[in-house]
Amino acid sequence: MPANVDQYVEENRERFLAELIELLRIPSISTLPEHQADVQQAADHVAARLAEAGLDNVEVIPTERHPLVYGEWLGVPGKPTVLCYGHYDVQPPDPLEEWETPPFEPALRNGNLYARGAADDKGQMYTHIKAVEALRAVTGTLPVNIKFLIEGEEEVGGASIARYVADNGEKLRADVALVSDTAMYAEGMPSLCTGLRGLIYAEVSASGPARDLHSGLYGGAAPNAVYGLIELLAKAKDDNGFIRIPDLYEDVEPPAPEEKASWQELPFDESEFLEKEVGAPALI
Ligand SMILES: [Zn+2]
Note the pLDDT tens digit of each residue in 114-138: 999 999 999 999 999 999 999 999 9
Residues spanned by the domain of 170: 5-179
80 Cα to the center of ligand 1, angstroms: 26
Closest residue by Cα to residue 27 from 37, 14, 13, 17 = 37
Task: Calculate how far, in angstroms, residue 87's C-alpha sits from the geometric centre of ligand 1.
Answer: 7
User: Does residue 73 lie in a domain region?
Assistant: yes
User: Does residue 150 sit within a domain?
Assistant: yes
* Domain CATH number, residue 103: 3.40.630.10
By the 8 A CB rule, do 9 and 16 touch? yes
The torsion region of residue 278 among left (phi > 0), alpha (psi -120 to 50) and beta comes to alpha
pLDDT tens-digit readout, 165-210: 999 999 999 999 999 899 888 888 888 888 888 888 889 999 989 9
How would you classify the pairing of strands 176-179 and 81-87?
parallel
The reply to whether 51 falls in a domain is: yes
Distances (CA, A) of 49 to 56, 70, 75, 169, 203: 12, 11, 19, 25, 42
Structurally, the chain folds into a number of domains equal to 1
Q: Is residue 124 part of a domain?
A: yes
Ion ligand 1 neighbours (CB, 5 A) are 120-121, 181
Q: What is the DSSP letter of 198?
A: -
113 contacts 28 by C-beta, under 8 angstroms: no
pLDDT beyond 90 at 29? yes
Residue 234 DSSP one-character state: H
- Ligand 1 centre to CA of 125 (Å) is 10
Q: How far is CA 256 from CA 32, 178, 261, 262, in A?
A: 42, 19, 9, 10
Q: In this structure, is residue 138 part of a structural domain?
A: yes
Non-local CB neighbours of 210 within 8 Å, separated by 6+ positions: none
Ligand 1 centroid to 52 CA: how many Å? 24
Report pLDDT digits (tens) over 72-111: 999 999 999 999 999 999 999 999 999 999 999 999 999 8
Residue 9 belongs to a domain? yes
Quick check: is 128 in a domain? Answer: yes
275: in domain: no
CA of 250 to the centre of ligand 1 (A): 29
Task: Tell me which residue of 98, 126, 100, 101 sits closest to 21, measured CA to CA.
Answer: 126
| CA of 139 relative to ligand 1 center, distance in Å | 31
Confidence (pLDDT) at 1:
55
Q: Are 100 and 110 in contact (CB under 8 A)?
A: no
> Ligand 1 centre and the CA of 181: distance in Å?
5
